Amino acid sequence: MLHISVSSHRKFEIACDLLGVEAHFSNFERMLEDLPALKVSRVWGPHQYRIGYGANFAGVYQVDLFSDIQARFDAAAHVLAVSPLRGLPAVTAQVTLRSLTGQGGYASRLVFHAQKDCTVADYDLTITADIPKPVRLNLVPDSVARTVVQAIVQRRVQEITDLFIVRTMSRFAS
C-alpha cells in the first residue's frame, strides 16, 4: 500500500457581503455546485455523504478515490467544515493496468471574513489515502511509486481548487 497526502491552501475574495456568502455556503450541497469534480455517490444521512473524485495521468491511468464525509456549517465561527465520517464500510481497493480505485480521507475548511464590500475566504483542502500500488509501477521502489501517484493527485487537487474559486467568484460577480 502507498500512503499519499496532498493539500491546498488558498485565500480569495468574493464580491458579496458575508451574509450573502454564508446563505449560499451554509448548504454543503450548494457548495458542491462549484465543485463539479466531486460527485456524491451515496448519502448516508443528513450532511453525511460518500463523495468520489478522480485524476487522470496522461490519458492513460485513472485514479479514483472515494471518501465518507460529514459537512457542518458553524454560523458563529463563519466556517464550513467537511471532515471524515468514520465507521462505514470502505470502498474495495482495486488496481488494474489502467486504473486504481480506493478509499481516502477528505477534509476541507472554508472560513469567511467580512471585509468592506466583499468577503474573504480561506480555503483549505486535504486528501489522504492508503492505496494499492499501481500495477505499472510494480518494478519501481514504493517511494518512487508513491511520489508519482501523489504528484497526480496533487495536480488534480490544485485543478479542483482553482475551478472552485473561479466558479465561486463567478457566481457572486453577477
**Residue 99 pLDDT:** 86
d(CA 47, CA 164): 20
**Residue 54 pLDDT:** 80
> Please, which pLDDT band fits residue 45 given cuts at 50, 70 and 90?
very high
**CB of 121 closer than 8 Å to CB of 110:** yes
Cell of 60: 492513460
pTM: 0.86
Q: What is the largest CA-CA distance in the chain?
A: 57
Domain hosting residue 151, numbered range: 2-173
Round the average pLDDT of the chain to a whole number and report it: 90
> Please, which pLDDT band fits residue 29 given cuts at 50, 70 and 90?
confident
55 has a pLDDT exceeding 80 = no
> Please, which pLDDT band fits residue 60 given cuts at 50, 70 and 90?
confident
150 has a pLDDT exceeding 90 = no
Burial of 48 (0-12, 13-18, 19+ CB in 10 A): middle
CATH number of the domain bearing residue 135: 3.30.530.20
- 85 CB neighbour count, 10 Å cutoff: 19
The domain total for the chain is 1
Q: Give the burial string for 101-131 (b: 16+ CB within 10 Å, else e).
A: bbbbbbbbebbbeeeeebbbbebbbbbbbeb
Candidate from 16-25, 87-96, 109-118, 147-156 with smallest mean pLDDT: 147-156
Cell of 93: 481497493
